[in-house]
Structure 1
């Protein structure tokens, strides 16, 4: 999981909500194009086109607007941009399958669950510190006693240890050749590598599963000179 710095909501979304009058009120149910499309585009841009929870690559067709605080329990937050994230569909496969398979991870898997004490949120600047990643792509909770319960619960509730996500993280790590590359890098070179992974490319995209990649790099800091 990677920290998401929220931006201001799109001006079109603000204008749409300001049209409220005695005969019409903006609701989640009548929130449609073009405003909804523009909101999703803004979310994707501020997240670097990766899922808010698992970090895999997403686009407008392969994502949805996720409410961090579920609509069912927080009706006042239904149209709060500060409560919006872009999540992957949570399907075990990426193909357009019919009928749609069960959603097994991330936003749809989280569903209406919310616990402020046990949900690690990507809006927490320190969210990355709750998780560890192995070279095989597995996600594990931190061993820090004060954070381990929330990390473990979040992994379970959001299905972040799904085999598809393990495979994606492993392929990302292997794709960068980190296992063979890291022993030959100095601390300065590792830090430069980390800084690069934290920066969107020319198209505004972050590397998929960059949190796992950064964790692998950080695990070597201090071990080289």
Structure 2
């Protein structure tokens, strides 16, 4: 999960919110809202970080509409999420589709996401039991497909860095820094899918060389 920095909300959302009897269902400019959310998130899901587009996303209310109707038009509460295997059995669903109307502590806008960790086999976890429950029980982010995707992207980056110097040579810190920067920044308005996995892995492996200790 990558921390999201919210941008200025769409003017149409602000205008609609000021109307009498306005709600999310009767908001007419949802396409504009999707564009705003996709742009600020670099076209990756707010939870699993897979690639999303206007055609295969949903607008997520972090605080559920059913419990917090006053937040249904609050831009700070709106995120772009993948469809999370919508229509599949519950144990195969993930992200907002699995979360449904459940509440959770972990918010992609907060610094709490810095407590999220990744194992080399692609599993996501946290040492904080409450956050770990959000990741596993509410968002179901350790479905096998997501685990495999995260492991594959780590393997690709490892192989790429190894190819630069050869199997028996150490990775150059300069190459590692460039790779981190590559995954921290958008290219043509897009983040790399699962970008935070790579950032975490490289920062952890090279903490001392990168000056973190």
What TM-score bracket applies, with the shorter chain setting the length? 0.7 to 0.9
Is the CA contact 2:13–2:27 (under 8 Å) kept in the aligned structure 1? no
1:41 shift after superposition = 1.0
Higher helix fraction (1 or 2) = 2
Deviations 1:36-85 (A, max 9, x none): 01101100110010000111111111110000111111110011111000
| Paired positions, count | 202
Task: Report the counterpart of residue 49 of structure 1 in structure 2.
Answer: 43
Where does 1:139-158 land on structure 2 (aligned, <5 Å)?
Answer: 139-142=124-127, 148-156=128-136, 157-158=138-139
Aligned counterparts of 2:208 and 2:76: Cα–Cα separation in 1: 40
Partner of residue 5, structure 1: 5
Give runs of aligned pairs for residues 80-159 of structure 1, distance below 5 A. 80-91=74-85, 100-102=87-89, 104-115=93-104, 119-127=105-113, 129-142=114-127, 148-156=128-136, 157-159=138-140
1:97 matched to which residue of 2?
A: none
- Kindly indicate whether the alpha-carbon contact (under 8 Å) linking 2:85 and 2:97 is maintained by their aligned counterparts in 1: no
Q: CA RMSD in A?
A: 2.2
Q: Does structure 2 conserve the Cα–Cα contact (< 8 Å) formed by 1:2 and 1:211?
A: yes
Cα 1:163–1:130 shift into 2, 3 Å: same
Unaligned 5+ segments in structure 1 are: 93-99, 143-147
Structure 1 outlier segments of 4+, above 6 Å: none
For structure 2, which runs of at least 5 residues remain unmatched after alignment? none
TM-score calculated relative to the size of structure 2:
0.86
Higher mean alpha-carbon deviation, 81-90 vs 179-188, is at: 179-188
Q: TM-score, normalised by structure 1?
A: 0.82
Aligned-residue offset at 1:26: 1.5
d(CA) in 1 for partners of 2:129 and 2:143? 19
Offset of residue 223 of structure 1:
5.4
1:64/1:89 contact within 8 Å kept: yes
Greater Cα offset, 106-115 or 58-67: 106-115
Rate the CA distance shift 1:26–1:178 in 2: closer, same or farther, 3 A.
farther
